[in-house]
Amino acid sequence: MSGIIQSLNSAFTLAFVVTSMFGLGLGMTVQDLLAPLRNVRLVVAMIGINFIFIPSLASLLTRLLPLEPDLQIGLIIMSTVAGAPLAIKASQLARGNVAVAGSLVALQVIFTVAYLPFVLPRLIPGIAVDTVAISLPLSLQVLLPLAAGIVMNIRYDEEAEMARPIMADISNISLAIMLVLNLGNVRQVLGLVGTGAIAGILILIVAGLTAGYLLGGPDTGTRKTLALGSAQRNYAAAFVIAQGNFADQPDVFLMLLTASLISMIVILVVAGEFGRRVRGGGSNPARPAAAVREPVKSAQQGKR
């Protein structure tokens, strides 16, 4: 039965990732994707938090917490992978800047693929990172659907507008099912209580949230987006690494499984709280690029 649940979880995770990225692309142009990346301060903050600060903190925690060696490996792997599509959904819930979230996820995926082969062997001696094994699934699941959505939006804008809510519905349903399926792993997670693993995971998540919010710049929507995107790690890449190097060390997988479940719950709760505060305060949340361009499209159609 656990094999069936795992297969279902993998299928709905894939559906969530692909529909999230494709749906995001349906509301963007190439200019929308690249615009946030012209903010040098934001890009530097993203790189510094995700690829220097969090891995350094994880390395320090392996020395401070009473973690078994396999759990240390899992924590290190968790810290080095970034670019999770869940950050886009979290940004929507938080009323953050969804266009920025999409740009940062794409950039984080590219950085992760280039970064891992050089850094992981230094943090975990003896590990061999298969760049192709990581880059291929990430490119097919994240970058390709995003690019396809952008192309469809540029060439077939009316069809893209009709497809966007459908992709959103599939993404939301897939995320809900993912959460339910992952809750079945709670018993395994509880087995790590007292090992220092849960403390280490929570410290990294809180550190990512705090650093992202503090360094996200003056715009509140962008701060929330960078915070959520820095706290949520790319567990798809993490499991590829674990499968290729630690298939005979189940505690590495258990650490990553625990981290993925805790991260999902914490990120969605924090995103919901961010969004609730926006609604309660009556402020105008940052809108995705598609929403901003709606009046432009209507005006153009009126001229015709």
Query: What one-character-per-residue DSSP string does 123-166 give?
Result: HSTT----HHHHHHHHIIIIIHHHHHHHHHHHH-HHHHHHHHHH
CB 20 within 8 A of CB 93: no
C-alpha to C-alpha distance for 188 and 287, rounded to whole angstroms: 39
Residue 295 has pLDDT above 60, yes or no: no
Q: Letter for the amino acid at 146?
A: L
Task: Round the average pLDDT of the chain to a whole number and report it.
Answer: 85
Residue 90 has pLDDT above 60, yes or no: yes
**Which residue in 43, 131, 123, 41 sits closest to 80, CA to CA?**
123
C-alpha to C-alpha distance for 110 and 288, rounded to whole angstroms: 22
**Which residue in 212, 33, 53 sits closest to 109, CA to CA?**
33
CB 231 within 8 A of CB 265: no
pLDDT tens string 23-38:
888 988 888 888 888 9
pLDDT tens string 49-74:
999 999 999 999 999 999 999 999 99
Q: Between 264 and 287, whose confidence is greater?
A: 264
- Locate tokens 């995003």: which residue? 146
DSSP category for residue 217: -
Q: Catalogue all structural domains in the chain, each as residue range(s) with its CATH number.
A: 2-276 (1.20.1530.20)
C-alpha to C-alpha distance for 43 and 244, rounded to whole angstroms: 30
Query: How many of the other CB atoms lie within 10 Å of CB of 141?
Result: 20
Q: Letter for the amino acid at 196?
A: G
Percentage of the residues of the chain whose pLDDT score is greater than 70? 89
CB 82 within 8 A of CB 231: no
- Locate tokens 């060390």: which residue? 249
pLDDT of residue 215: 95
Q: Kindly report the pTM of this predicted structure.
A: 0.81
pLDDT of residue 279: 63
Query: How many of the other CB atoms lie within 10 Å of CB of 250?
Result: 12
Residue 286 banded pLDDT, cuts 50, 70, 90: very low
pLDDT of residue 57: 97
